[in-house]
Amino acid sequence: MSVKAIAQDEFGDVDVLRVRELPEPRIAFDQVLVEVRAAGVNPVDRLVRMGYVKDRVPHHFPLIPGWDVAGVVREVGPAVDGFEPGDEVFGYQRKDHVQHGTYAELVAATERGLAHKPAALSFAEAGGLALTGLTALQALRRVGVSSGDTVLVHAAAGGVGHLAVQVARVLGASRVIGTASPRNHGFLRSLGAEPVSYGDALVDNVAELVGGDGLVDVAFDCVGGAALNDSPALVRDPSRIVSIVDTNVLELGGRYAYAKPVQADLEWLAAHADAGELKVVVQQTFPLAEAAEAHRLLEGRHVRGKIVLTV
């Protein structure tokens, strides 16, 4: 038996992504075979495609990209607890080796990176939740966001950013300020954030918006570069700066965060999505065969929310 998947045989630009017929995945004793309905497209997928993380994690060809998934359980391994055939699930499927990703009709999923799909979300929305949601939740917890905090989110209209705005509110932040281009200010307001324009005047713009001492409690960086470099001038305590893109944050006294596949955290996201407190904004969906086009849109760096492949 074979399945359709998007795979690459070399690192490179979007043209290395091709539709392939590959062997149906086999599941280990503690894995779940998932019929994929949707797979989120994330900036890390581009880095994998181009070989930028091959020195950090072993890669093997043919390589199927993708770490986000939503679908229906077809089969469970004999050691699996909590899932049965027919269950609707979503998850974050980063593994120790990069090869068998989620841009495929079937995925052999690890149990630890899987949870039941929120009933309130479509498959496309759930397919865009796991990686970005886990990143936001774990990063904000890493700097102790809690009741009364004012949180600044750099690049708040993007995939991680728009969820970080919402997660911060759920964690108790009293104010969430988000940087974005003016065209996305209305979008941020709809999520409960106060928008501010990025650029050379960022520090002054935030200070004017915040009032008082002009400082925030937490800065969450989704973009790096100048925004990250401005962050020490924006926070009361540099140890409450967290970046998900730039390890230079450590030199500033802050924290670096990288999403981990934790089932309890996926269940937290699902519960709050079902409670109406988290929504996943999908800018555009593409059929699986058009994964290269999805990557082209991603590379334009003007995505609002998420891009998702549908199967």
**pLDDT, tens digit (0-9, with 9 covering 90-100), for 240-269:** 999 999 999 999 999 999 999 999 999 999
What is the torsion angle, in degrees rounded to the nearest 10, for the CA atoms of residue 136, residue 142, residue 143 and residue 144? 100
SS3 46: helix
What is the CB neighbour count within 10 angstroms for residue 210?
18
List strand residue ranges (DSSP E) for the chain, in order: 2-7, 18-23, 31-41, 59-64, 68-76, 88-92, 98-100, 106-110, 114-116, 150-154, 175-179, 194-196, 218-221, 241-243, 255-256, 282-287, 306-310
> What integer pLDDT is reported at residue 300 of this predicted model?
87
Which residues lie below 8 Å from residue 71, measured CB to CB, with a gap of 6+? 34, 35, 36, 37, 38, 88, 89, 90, 107, 123, 311
- Write down all domains in the chain, each with its CATH number in brackets: 2-131+261-310 (3.90.180.10), 136-256 (3.40.50.720)
> What integer pLDDT is reported at residue 301 of this predicted model?
77
Percent of the chain with pLDDT over 90: 98
Amino acid at 98: V
> What integer pLDDT is reported at residue 123 of this predicted model?
99
pLDDT band at 309 (very low <50, low <70, confident <90, very high): very high
> What integer pLDDT is reported at residue 160 of this predicted model?
98
> What integer pLDDT is reported at residue 114 of this predicted model?
98
> What integer pLDDT is reported at residue 1 of this predicted model?
86
Residue 30 has pLDDT above 90, yes or no: yes
> What integer pLDDT is reported at residue 110 of this predicted model?
97
- The pLDDT tens digits of the residues spanning 85-101 come to 999 999 999 999 999 99
Over residues 267-282, the mean pLDDT reads 98
State the Cα–Cα distance between residues 124 and 38, nearest whole angstrom: 5
- The pLDDT tens digits of the residues spanning 193-244 come to 999 998 899 999 999 999 999 999 999 999 999 999 999 999 999 999 999 9
State the Cα–Cα distance between residues 57 and 45, nearest whole angstrom: 13
Q: CB of 10 within 8 A of CB of 16? A: yes
State the Cα–Cα distance between residues 199 and 197, nearest whole angstrom: 7
> What integer pLDDT is reported at residue 302 of this predicted model?
83
Residue 82 has pLDDT above 90, yes or no: yes
- The pLDDT tens digits of the residues spanning 103-145 come to 999 999 999 999 999 999 999 999 999 999 999 999 999 999 9
Q: Smallest Cα–Cα separation from 242: which of 149, 170, 142, 160?
A: 142
Amino acid at 67: W
> What is the chain's mean pLDDT, rounded?
97
Q: Residue 178 pairs with which residues in a beta bridge?
A: 153, 195
Q: CB of 138 within 8 A of CB of 175? A: no
Residue 57 has pLDDT above 80, yes or no: yes
